[in-house]
Amino acid sequence: MSLKTAIGIDPGSIVCGYGVLRKEGKSISYVASGEITVPKGQPLPERLRRIYEGLRKAIETYNPDEAVVEKIFFASNIKAALSLGHARGVALLSASVGGIPVFEYSPLEVKKALTGYGRAEKSQVMAMIKAILNIDVALSPDSSDALALALTHLNMEGILYGGGKH
């Protein structure tokens, strides 16, 4: 029976969520989730370093076989888009340094895969995550989104095999 562990990463320059799931055969189980939070007032390079260190620690702790990172889809302004792009780059780098293949999905793809509706609310996605994984743990919106990425990827395996390798 095949065993695979995936880490989902919901990048952000203030809060970066992560979620780890394990697939054994057709069964997917919750391993861990959390968030890396950095003070908003810190300079961007310091925030990015702290996010990198947090993601590397999670990757070293849970030793995932694959990483799943959210594609950028929207930012409220150019400055926010650039900061999010930097955080996304750190997520990609963190996985790459660990030698982990990276897959990417848009929020629309994840929402559609989990709820059947591409414009589902975050609360609907979180409810589906808890129901599908049969867990009763407190999830932040960022860790829930990260788990949703990992779950979408593990469920798509063999069907589409993700949004493509990065």
Tell me whether residue 70 is one of the annotated catalytic residues. yes
Q: Considering the candidates 66, 104, 109, 142, report the single residue annotated as catalytic.
A: 142
Tell me which DSSP letter residue 42 carries.
S
Tell me whether residue 10 is one of the annotated catalytic residues. yes
Q: Please list the alpha-helical segments (H only) found in the chain.
A: 44-62, 78-97, 107-115, 122-133, 141-156
Tell me whether residue 157 is one of the annotated catalytic residues. no
Could you give the CA distance from residue 6 to residue 8 in angstroms, rounded to a whole number? 6
For the sheet containing 27-37, what is the strand order?
27-37, 15-24, 3-10, 66-70, 102-105
Distant-in-sequence, close-in-space partners of 82: CB < 8 Å, separation ≥ 6: none
* 164 touches 103 (CB < 8 A): yes
Q: Considering the candidates 70, 104, 109, 145, report the single residue annotated as catalytic.
A: 70
* 10 touches 146 (CB < 8 A): yes
Residues known to be catalytic: 10, 70, 142
